[in-house]
Amino acid sequence: MTVFKSCDIRGLYGRELDEALADRLGRAIATRLPGSRAVVGQDLRESSPALTDALVDGLVASGARVTRVGTIPTPTLYFAKRHLDCPIGVMVTASHNPPQYNGFKVMMGNLPVQPADIQGLEAEMARGAFWDEGPGHVETADLLPAYLAALKAAFPELLPRRVVVDCGSGSMSTVAPDLLADLGLDVVPLYCQPDGRFPLRDPNPAVPEHLTDLGQRVVASEAELGIAFDGDGDRVIFCDGRGRVQPADRTLVLLIRHLLPMHPMGAGVVYDQKASSVVAEETAALGGRPLREKSGHAFIKRRLIEERALLGGEISGHYFFATIGGDDALYASLALLSALDALGLSFRQAIDTVSEYPITPDIRLSASPEQARAALAEIRDALVLHPIDHLDGVRVAFGDGWALARLSVTEPLITLRFEARTSRRLRQIMTLVRNASPTLQQLWNR
């Protein structure tokens, strides 16, 4: 599979991407926006310094004026791009992927990149016709203090709850615990020693099995809340006082309940199409506009900006806010704590008020692209009497549930997900969809 994904560039360091690719990428980005200012940050993976050096060399060689902001969480890079008013931003990171991976999150202009932008950079790199009318220059800046000051200004008062903060040895390790403590929280740190090898837990917190230690620490320390960040600090997953990992879509409902009543009727909430129906139901009940979007950070962020929506969320743990024009896991943590303060509830009490429907995790079946496309066509044709949308794959609505089938953009897979009001109905919908596609039946039964 190519390292050029739908919205970023990512692969195995040394095998799929290296310093030569980073240099060409820098030249291609600077060629797209000649003479522009660029801000560049990096996560703490062992390969990030070398890749960042090569990227900056390429940017400068093609005329960009680069500000390096060092090893920081990805949300700090987003803040730095806004703060410095730079057209270009690049974060060297593989986000939640294992340590042997690395990559680049690219920002060009005020909207997130689209697949066509990534494809354009790939083509530009292949052609090698880079802007070379004179070198740019590079400087360094420390934007972390300004970023933390902005967070403190946005959330000046929080109740003194006890929280366990699990940074997974990632980029939030030296940032989140200190900030939360400065704001009056009783912080119990867990895996907050920075280490780009991620030796203590997997950097993806959206998999509940990766947060077993967090749940146990929450219970043992009698904390009210567990907060788990991913490798580069742009995703966050929360654990309640019972040590139970809570899905991001249910947590999003608490933010919806807190923020929507403060804004005019019709404020938009963008949500991942894999999220539970409870998100759309709660949004509509409060007079908001539910805006379903395809899965993917860049897609949801772009929709948030274009629709001037209030809030957005993805089941992977990304939370998006109009107030900052995008996502930030630490901002989301503070927003949730602020919401709980306003509700006068613990996280456990608040989350127990959110409806929970039977829903499957992603069901991932190995399939060639031809098999996957055949299965989608068969589902579409057999269930044509039901409402179907093709935002990303085939999503079939059944009134009391839904089914989603889509092609993976990174692996030879077809991915399925189902939800219904009852467990019995969930099983019926799953059977109905399987029976609708002979190809899917073969893949499922292998």
Q: Given the structure tokens 């002979």, which residue do they identify?
A: 438
In sign, the C-alpha dihedral spanning 433, 439, 442, 446 is: negative
Class of residue 316 by CB neighbours under 10 A (exposed 0-12, middle 13-18, buried 19+): buried
Q: Which two tokens stand for residue 364?
A: 């991932």
Q: Which two tokens stand for residue 134?
A: 């004179």
Count how many Cα atoms sit within 13 Å of the Cα of residue 86 in the half-sphere of its side chain: 24
The number of residues making up the chain comes to 446
- Pick the catalytic residue: 10, 27, 210, 302? 10
Residue 110's nearest CA partner among 81, 69, 150 is 81
Q: Which two tokens stand for residue 41?
A: 């940050």
Buried b (16+ CB within 10 A) or exposed e, 93-117: bbbbbebebbbbbbbbeeebbeeeb
Question: Is 95 among the catalytic positions?
Answer: yes
Question: Is 68 among the catalytic positions?
Answer: no
Cβ neighbors of 159 (< 8 A, separation 6 or more) are: 184, 337, 340, 341
Q: Which ranges of 70-137 would DSSP assign to H, the alpha helix? A: 74-84, 115-127
- Pick the catalytic residue: 318, 395, 406, 417? 318
What is the full DSSP assignment across 342-407? HHT--HHHHHTTS----B---EEEE--HHHHHHHHHHHHHHTTTS-EE-SSSEEEE-SSEEEEEEE
- Pick the catalytic residue: 36, 95, 295, 338? 95
SS3 60: helix
Question: Is 346 among the catalytic positions?
Answer: no
Active site residues: 10, 95, 318
